[in-house]
Structure 1
Amino acid sequence: MQIQEQKKSVGFETFFKYTVLFLGMSLAIFSVFFIQGKTFIWQNDGFHQHYPFFREYLTILRNFFQTGQWQSWDWNIGLGADTLVSYGYYVVGDPFVYLALLFPKGSEEFAFHVVMLVRIWCVGASFLFYARKMNLSHRGALMGSLMYAFSHPVIYNVVRHPFFIHPMIFFPLLCLGIEKVFKKESGIFFTLMVAISAASNFYFFYMLTWMVLLYALVRYFSLEKGKSWKSFLKWFAYFVGLYLIGLLIASGIFIPLVYGFINASRSPGSPPISLFVYPLRYYGLLVINSLTPGTIFWTIGGLSIVSIFSLPFLIRHRKQRAGLFWTLVALGVMLLFPIFGSFMNGMSGPYNRFSFIVPFYMALATIYFMENIQDLTNSDVTWIRRLMIAYSVLYISATLITNDYILYLTPVILGWAIYGAVNYTQNNKLAKVSFQRILTVFVLLNMTANAIIFYAPFGKNAVSGTENYGTIDDTYSKVFNGVEQNLPTDSQYRIGVTSHNNHVRNQYAYINKPGTNSYASLTNGAVAEFAQFLEASSYQIIQPLRNGIDDRRIVNQSLGVKYILTERKYADYLPSDYTINPELSVVDSDMIVAETENEAPFAYVETNGLSHAEAQKLHPVQREQLLTDAVILEDDSKANLATPAEFSELDIYEGQWREAEHIRGQENLSLNEPMEITVDEANSQITLTFDRPEELIGQEAFIYFENIEFTPPKASFGKDTSTAYRLKVDYNNQSKGVLQSDRYTFSSYFKRENILIHLNEVEEAEDALTVTFQNAGDYSFENVSVVSRPFDEEQATHEAQIKKEHALEIDSFTDEQIEGSVEVSEEGMLVTNIPYTKGWQAYVDGQKVPAEKVNIGFVGVPISAGEHTIEFVYQTPFLKVGVAMSIFGLIALAGYELIYRRYLQKSSE
């Protein structure tokens, strides 16, 4: 890929002009946000993850610099979580986040945007550093840097995932490190870039590893033609050594994050689609999106039309630029088959996020075309004209179908203008230097237009999906309208919400109150197992305990949820045993505070136990009851506890399904038997009539759909068949829906085998329950049942009192350390509300004892009869090991570089 050195090479002038043009283009592009009063913060992940994590991490850093104390654990992330793991996926290894420390506290939102602009500038700057090493011309590198910095993967991720931009910065620099090694220069730069990339984000580091390997192999065989395999193996070993040392240097962050990822709730599994062919729609959009801003399966297009012009020229000169040609061919093939997308995505769903690499190579191809315009032949011009005609027909057709004139006609107009300049130059009527300047201007206009069309209301209006500037901190801090400030601060408890408070996600850190929910890409896998064990209908992969855990009383109380905060209109969704506290609620506000006296203590001793395997055999409602009656032990637990005498029996109800319009197959169907129906129209309803509805009064009721199979109607030709469906149930003043996500939403997809919906305590006899099928299709249920358990307030109070009598008396409670004492009359298990992770170490009477996983997802400690002092101490798993490996890596780098390079140079002579 090395291009002949030009008279004017990349230097200070190139960087200066790039910076000036960058500022001008940024002003034109991002003025859309200023005019609209919008931020770069997406209303989904941006609002719920990226910005709040950015802000909270800065708070942790500032506190560290002020006190010297690092906060390893935060009780306000979900049920409590490791800060390095929780924030590491987004911000810990992001070198740009640390620039925000230059801004005063309270200006985080402004700093977030400045940091984003710095990221974008660095994308183009990294390309220029690479271009200088490759002896590309000043004009070619300038044009290429603009194509790369404002390519659609960058523009798209400005408002989607900021850290997705990082690999576009690191890849040219990694390639630069490879070039330095091939030129017999130091390998230190390559190693340090490996370290920075690995520490920044392990997910993209995986992709970068394979892309860098491809680059290095292509470059080696381009530069070292005719060399022996022995020589190749020496070079390969040298690079592997440098790579591994870079990984060692990054281990202080990399190793704990990998541990967190392995033990997170996000378990990819095998993709639920064919790995050999995408839906037909994908291939059409792959072409459509190539020159217009768009994405499908994270294959991001929006290239400059100039880059398409370079392809015929590159194909004809492929022998001179074989490496570049075959790399683009390989990338093209990878985009055609899902198996490559799955492999690059860690063998999960085929999201083609590796396509961020395509603009880099297309920029190089365009530079090659620009610098060798004098070699253009009539045949090349003919093929360029044919491409323009094909794209013109395609985009004009798209314009007629969609009426989106700006989106599809802009590249056509620019393309024909550029074609005119090419044709004019080819006829020797325009000097090469003039052509290069004109081409750069067209690239500038093209990339600016693409970005504005993507953001602006008259285009794809991506700006409408972002938050209003100056509102985010206020929105987060006022999630409960300040009512949480009325709660006591002298005890350990959690606050919860109802099933209708989906907007409450990561706000607990803002209000400094421990809750139950979090929304993060890396969430404790043990907590996810707990939610799945209980078959919580609200469960999602990155939100295991969301939406009040479907208002289930025992789960909330077992987690220490003393207060539930919600809007007054959702008072009917409060779990049994939670009553509105008028003194804590705000009279002139819609927010209310409900309280229970029967929440479980933070830690207590339980003497009854049941193995995980035996507990799994129970109905999910009985499993929830176990949280009151016993402790659930792992199958390999060494604890010797008594088995509960009996399990509470569930009441099972009888009823019939009424015939319903637009639903076939429901005739003569009853509860407690298989059910197979065809729903012809979306939002069709079927009603269940109970035989003896009065028997439900005073019961906590549930409806349970078991072994669900759903087959959607066949889609019309060229359209995807969505496998998503939602069931909504209305009964007892409750309206609750459960979503099965579509199989193509790979990040959040998991198949729901069963759906359990809590209908709360029934106060009045209602004979009808309505199920709404919000999606048409064929539904099959192995069984549909309505079950209940009685709610006895005195019994609930008695059970809670027993736990409190055996509770750990806490003397000291901080983020990473808990101390207390407990006295028990017989052997038992100290059950805590601490989410299970190997980072928590337990000490009984000063002696370290192995902690166990109990109740599926929490920390427990076997304890003997008597009086004991207990201490729990937290340290991020593998952090010390990782830091030691980092230090060793820095030492190893110097010795490896000195010894191996000498050996390599000597053997090459």
Structure 2
Amino acid sequence: MKRKWGLFLYPLAAFLLPMVITIIAFGLHGIAPLGSKNILVSDLATQYLPFFNFMRTQLVQHTYSAYSLLLSLGDNTLPVYTYYLMSPLNWLVRFVPETAVPLLMEAIIIIKIGLISLSMQLFLQVRSKQANLMQLLAGLSYGLCGFVSMYFYDFMWLDALILLPLLTWSLDRLFYRGKWGSYLLILALTIVVNYYMGYMLCLYSVIYFVYLILLNQRPETGFFQFFKQHRRLVCKYLGASLLAASLAAFLLVPTVIGMLATGKSSLNPVSFLPIPRFLPSVFTALGVGATNFASRLNHEPALFVGSLFTLGLWLYWLSPLITRQRKRASFWLVGAIFFGMLISTFDTMWHMFQMPAGFPFREVYMLSFVVILLGYDAWQAGAFYDRSSLIKAITLTISLLLAGYLTAYLEKIIVRVTNWKFTYVGANHWHLLVALLLIIFIGMLLWYQASHRASFLVKLALLFGVSLELGTNFSMALGGTDEYGEQHRFATAFQQSKKIIDRHTGHQKDFGRTNLDNRLYKASFNINYNQYNDALLFNFFGVNSYTSSMNKNTHDALAQLGLYSRNERRISVNGVTPVTEQLLRLDQRLVIEQDGSYRVHHDARNRGLGYAVSEQINTYHPVSNQVFTNLNQLVQKEQGRTNNYFLANQIELAQVQKQAGIYRYTVKTTPRITGKQYLAIPTSSPNQPLAVKVNGRRLKTSEHQLGAEIIPVGKFAKGQTYTIQFNSSTKLANLQNNLVGFDDAGFDRYVTATNPYRLKISHPERLKLKGHDFKGTIKTTTKRPVVLISLPYDRGWQLTDGGKPVKIKKTVGGLMSVHLTPGNHVLHFKYQTPGLRLGMLISALGLVATAGFWWWFKDQNKRGVD
């Protein structure tokens, strides 16, 4: 009876206890449900909240759009779903109000942590065919490991931790019993839920399968000889792996094609150099508090699994109770993952051949899993009761921890002396003290347990000690920031903002984009909130976007015209000029102040999805780092004329000083035309603060400078000299390319003349829900035969004119255009996700192949390794 209760109570405790610990840790930092704060920081605020709201809108409206014009200028939605939103728990967003979405995301994180722990506990329980306390401790250590503490902000990845024990169980089942079905289904599920982590788990499956071979091959049998003797087993593994990928192809193929259309498709040769990625300071992670929120973007591998299973790994390797063959196999299992992180070449391969920008070493949770697994095996073998080996393990753990802190201390000295721009944040000496005390406490309990195996109090103390250590590390990982927001303030700002935005964008008679500066909503955060994905959040057409799936054509076309871009995943409306306002169809500027008041400026001439221009537009070729040249060329090609609307200023005096690697300019300049004046800094450091002064007064802008953009510096009359001060990370070769005046009156006449040739969209309000199918009308002439469309070029678009297909061309560095005969036209736009049909065909063939695979091996399905 007691055994049956254990089979139920241990899994229940494994699910509930880590959630309770997480809630307490959140509460200590004032985070809901035990506090008034929310976790709208990092990617949770800038990506997940808008994406969740976008998903919620689609679910509430019972629709799905393959293409959305809410993603900057427009983009394929499938990569967004497959990268961020495929977790089944995300569907809960349908049942909560918009203002409660931050609390739902927190609840999902807490539930996932419980499921991670439960998955590990059940895996060990099924594997050993018994239930015990050590399985519960293993579940806790896995559910609250260093990866979870540091990476839960990107909680799409947590599903992989839930599935990893199940995948390992299925590999064991395949290897020892010959049953491949569960492996095929679980591997396919990992790819579908998150293809990025699914790719990593595919690599893990290879490492673990080799481990099983090393673990079970006879001494007289070579590695490759094992393959010959068990070729049916190997065929089952390889076949099931390929079939799993084919079953997931209906999502995988279109996602891969979509991601190849992003800026992340390019490879950086430097990241493949065989150089070490971290130093011995990594061993600070053997104790609590080695990393926190402040170091989330640049830190060493989050190795922390708690003292119990760190000691367990050393005991596995030190104890004579573990055979030499098992140790040799474990060296491969641990070493393949550890050295895969250490060597840059392999680490880049782990991350789909792209070095991650922030949250590095994303594969480290696999190392945590295998360390806990081997630690549990050491306990099962009785190694924890070997006092001699235990003393060595404790000594080794403390020695490595001290070596890690010493190395981290030396790193800090080197950084300070050399002024090296390295943002690693090492743990402090108080964290070291706490870590040592907890290691010693756990070690003493294990020492005592070695002679009191059945003591209930020792087991209870061990459960308390492990929970305390894991909870302490999780709480410390939440530290290093005061950026957690106030939920009530967020909800109030959101509701006020939504009413104002809906009033001005909810009932558009023609398509137009909004340049929104929502200072009210921005002020509700305790972070530097850049309003990237607010179009998804508040359901309006904008330009800003921040997503790993951003179309490269969107980014390149806009960045070359002076819009702000920190990297290939971000684009902002900052840097817009009248020329780009017309190009992007920005028909209104809406500014919402912190007190809830607002002002709005309309320009109806910029409505529509595009406009007819000269056929010379197809000869436009942007020049790198010459944004004003590009803008002039753009209008010239649109008109078929040679007018310059941006005129270079006269440089009267230029002084430059170099301080700490930054060039500081003081320039006296005279405009050649009356009107708006602009500054463009072609290349600047991502961490460079915006520091521009005009005639001694600090220039106020909506953003801090994190990349190149066009900066308006005010209005001046022709011949009115002014002084401007600014900084740049590179020396500027020709300042006349960076300071210009703008011919407002001349360009205004051109916009007015273009107005009759706008691409007018029928029922533009429908585009918010169904951006993949719409119609529009336009008039073209002999002088204006080309329709320049403010959508990024994408092969998924099919366009017909009066029912007849027309060819879409790529122009303006990444936008769409189409050549039409003079007259009135009815254009029908339809979007088909590239690769979707191919992916569905492969999946269908995969189903047939799976049936054939089953039939072929039906007589051997119960045969594994002898």
- Superposition TM-score, scaled by structure 1 size: 0.80
For residues 541-578 of structure 1, the C-alpha deviation after alignment (integer angstroms, 9 at most, x for no partner) is 2222x1x3313121012111111122679xxxxxxxxx
Residue 787 of structure 2 aligns with an amino acid whose one-letter code is L
For 1:829, the equivalent position in structure 2 comes to 786
Which residue among 531, 541, 545 is the counterpart of 2:568?
Answer: 541
Cα contact 1:133–1:179 (8 A) shared by 2? no
Residue 443 of structure 1 aligns with an amino acid whose one-letter code is V
Cα contact 1:562–1:597 (8 A) shared by 2? yes
State the alpha-carbon separation in 2 of the partners of residues 908 and 685 from structure 1.
70
State the alpha-carbon separation in 2 of the partners of residues 274 and 771 from structure 1.
40
SS of 2:510's partner is coil
SS of 1:781's partner is coil
> Is the aligned partner of 1:152 residue 2:152?
no
> Is the aligned partner of 1:161 residue 2:188?
no
SS of 2:816's partner is strand
Worse-superposed segment, 38-47 or 516-525: 38-47
Which residue among 38, 41, 55 is the counterpart of 2:39?
Answer: 41
> Is the aligned partner of 1:288 residue 2:284?
yes
Aligned length: 811
> Is the aligned partner of 1:355 residue 2:364?
yes
> Is the aligned partner of 1:143 residue 2:137?
yes
SS of 2:735's partner is strand
> 1:273-352 residue pairs with structure 2 within 5 A?
275-278=273-276, 282-295=278-291, 296-297=298-299, 299-316=301-318, 317=322, 319=324, 320-349=326-355, 351-352=360-361
> 1:842-881 residue pairs with structure 2 within 5 A?
842-881=799-838
State the alpha-carbon separation in 1 of the partners of residues 615 and 440 from structure 2.
79
Provide closer, same or farther for how the CA distance between residues 786 and 857 of structure 1 changes in structure 2, counting only shifts above 3 A.
closer
State the alpha-carbon separation in 1 of the partners of residues 780 and 750 from structure 2.
17
Residue 167 of structure 1 aligns with an amino acid whose one-letter code is A
Provide closer, same or farther for how the CA distance between residues 883 and 84 of structure 1 changes in structure 2, counting only shifts above 3 A.
same
For 1:418, the equivalent position in structure 2 comes to 442
How far residue 60 of structure 1 moved from its aligned partner, in angstroms, is: 0.9
SS of 2:54's partner is helix
SS of 2:149's partner is helix
State the alpha-carbon separation in 2 of the partners of residues 725 and 131 from structure 1.
50
Cα contact 1:271–1:349 (8 A) shared by 2? no
> 1:885-896 residue pairs with structure 2 within 5 A?
885-896=842-853
How far residue 318 of structure 1 moved from its aligned partner, in angstroms, is: 5.8
> Is the aligned partner of 1:74 residue 2:74?
no
Residue 341 of structure 1 aligns with an amino acid whose one-letter code is D
**Structure 2, gaps ≥5 residues long:** 292-297, 413-425, 523-528
Which residue among 255, 258, 274 is the counterpart of 1:257?
Answer: 255
For 2:167, the equivalent position in structure 1 comes to 174
Provide closer, same or farther for how the CA distance between residues 870 and 388 of structure 1 changes in structure 2, counting only shifts above 3 A.
closer
For residues 742-788 of structure 1, the C-alpha deviation after alignment (integer angstroms, 9 at most, x for no partner) is xxxxxxxxxx7x7764545434865343334488xxx5333333566
> Is the aligned partner of 1:445 residue 2:468?
yes
Cα contact 1:598–1:796 (8 A) shared by 2? no
For 2:611, the equivalent position in structure 1 comes to 604
For residues 45-71 of structure 1, the C-alpha deviation after alignment (integer angstroms, 9 at most, x for no partner) is 11121122123212212322xxxx422
Which residue among 12, 15, 18 is the counterpart of 2:11?
Answer: 15
| Between structures 1 and 2, the one with greater helix share | 2
> 1:483-562 residue pairs with structure 2 within 5 A?
485-486=503-504, 489-497=508-516, 503-538=530-565, 540-544=567-571, 546=572, 548-562=573-587
How far residue 399 of structure 1 moved from its aligned partner, in angstroms, is: 11
State the alpha-carbon separation in 2 of the partners of residues 618 and 541 from structure 1.
16
How far residue 845 of structure 1 moved from its aligned partner, in angstroms, is: 1.7
Provide closer, same or farther for how the CA distance between residues 147 and 498 of structure 1 changes in structure 2, counting only shifts above 3 A.
closer
SS of 2:828's partner is strand
Residue 832 of structure 2 aligns with an amino acid whose one-letter code is Q
SS of 1:335's partner is helix
Cα contact 2:623–2:629 (8 A) shared by 1? no
For 1:639, the equivalent position in structure 2 comes to none
Residue 485 of structure 2 aligns with an amino acid whose one-letter code is E
For residues 474-528 of structure 1, the C-alpha deviation after alignment (integer angstroms, 9 at most, x for no partner) is 4345448726614662221111146998632222234332111122221121111
> 1:810-825 residue pairs with structure 2 within 5 A?
810-813=761-764, 814-815=766-767, 816-825=772-781
Aligned-pair Cα RMSD in Å: 3.8
Provide closer, same or farther for how the CA distance between residues 837 and 128 of structure 1 changes in structure 2, counting only shifts above 3 A.
same
State the alpha-carbon separation in 2 of the partners of residues 166 and 566 from structure 1.
39
How far residue 215 of structure 1 moved from its aligned partner, in angstroms, is: 0.7
State the alpha-carbon separation in 1 of the partners of residues 567 and 863 from structure 2.
58
> Is the aligned partner of 1:731 residue 2:688?
no
Residue 602 of structure 2 aligns with an amino acid whose one-letter code is E
> 1:589-628 residue pairs with structure 2 within 5 A?
590-599=597-606, 601-611=608-618, 614-616=621-623, 619-628=626-635
Cα contact 1:829–1:861 (8 A) shared by 2? yes
State the alpha-carbon separation in 1 of the partners of residues 504 and 681 from structure 2.
40
State the alpha-carbon separation in 1 of the partners of residues 427 and 779 from structure 2.
76
Worse-superposed segment, 723-732 or 503-512: 723-732
For 1:718, the equivalent position in structure 2 comes to none
State the alpha-carbon separation in 1 of the partners of residues 458 and 130 from structure 2.
14
State the alpha-carbon separation in 2 of the partners of residues 784 and 105 from structure 1.
48
Cα contact 2:178–2:863 (8 A) shared by 1? no
SS of 2:177's partner is coil
Which residue among 433, 436, 439 is the counterpart of 1:409?
Answer: 433
Cα contact 1:731–1:769 (8 A) shared by 2? yes
State the alpha-carbon separation in 1 of the partners of residues 579 and 533 from structure 2.
23
Worse-superposed segment, 499-508 or 397-406: 397-406
**Structure 1, gaps ≥5 residues long:** 1-6, 570-587, 632-642, 660-665, 667-676, 711-722, 742-751
SS of 1:870's partner is strand
For 1:62, the equivalent position in structure 2 comes to 60
> Is the aligned partner of 1:771 residue 2:725?
yes
State the alpha-carbon separation in 2 of the partners of residues 417 and 43 from structure 1.
34
For residues 601-656 of structure 1, the C-alpha deviation after alignment (integer angstroms, 9 at most, x for no partner) is 4233223324457454894313223443435xxxxxxxxxxx93435386444435
Provide closer, same or farther for how the CA distance between residues 561 and 228 of structure 1 changes in structure 2, counting only shifts above 3 A.
same
How far residue 111 of structure 1 moved from its aligned partner, in angstroms, is: 3.2
State the alpha-carbon separation in 2 of the partners of residues 617 and 17 from structure 1.
59
State the alpha-carbon separation in 2 of the partners of residues 374 and 213 from structure 1.
28
SS of 1:820's partner is strand
State the alpha-carbon separation in 2 of the partners of residues 738 and 506 from structure 1.
15
Cα contact 2:164–2:201 (8 A) shared by 1? yes
State the alpha-carbon separation in 2 of the partners of residues 819 and 288 from structure 1.
60
For 1:576, the equivalent position in structure 2 comes to none
> Is the aligned partner of 1:217 residue 2:210?
yes
For 1:573, the equivalent position in structure 2 comes to none
SS of 2:731's partner is strand
Cα contact 1:266–1:523 (8 A) shared by 2? no
Cα contact 2:249–2:839 (8 A) shared by 1? yes
State the alpha-carbon separation in 1 of the partners of residues 789 and 456 from structure 2.
73
For 2:380, the equivalent position in structure 1 comes to 371
SS of 2:353's partner is coil
Provide closer, same or farther for how the CA distance between residues 905 and 480 of structure 1 changes in structure 2, counting only shifts above 3 A.
closer
Cα contact 1:530–1:855 (8 A) shared by 2? yes
> 1:760-799 residue pairs with structure 2 within 5 A?
761-763=715-717, 767-773=721-727, 779-786=730-737, 791-799=742-750
Provide closer, same or farther for how the CA distance between residues 410 and 648 of structure 1 changes in structure 2, counting only shifts above 3 A.
same
Q: Identity of aligned pairs, percent?
A: 16
> 1:620-659 residue pairs with structure 2 within 5 A?
620-631=627-638, 644-646=640-642, 648=644, 651-655=647-651, 657=653
State the alpha-carbon separation in 2 of the partners of residues 473 and 876 from structure 1.
35
Residue 532 of structure 2 aligns with an amino acid whose one-letter code is R
How far residue 220 of structure 1 moved from its aligned partner, in angstroms, is: 2.4
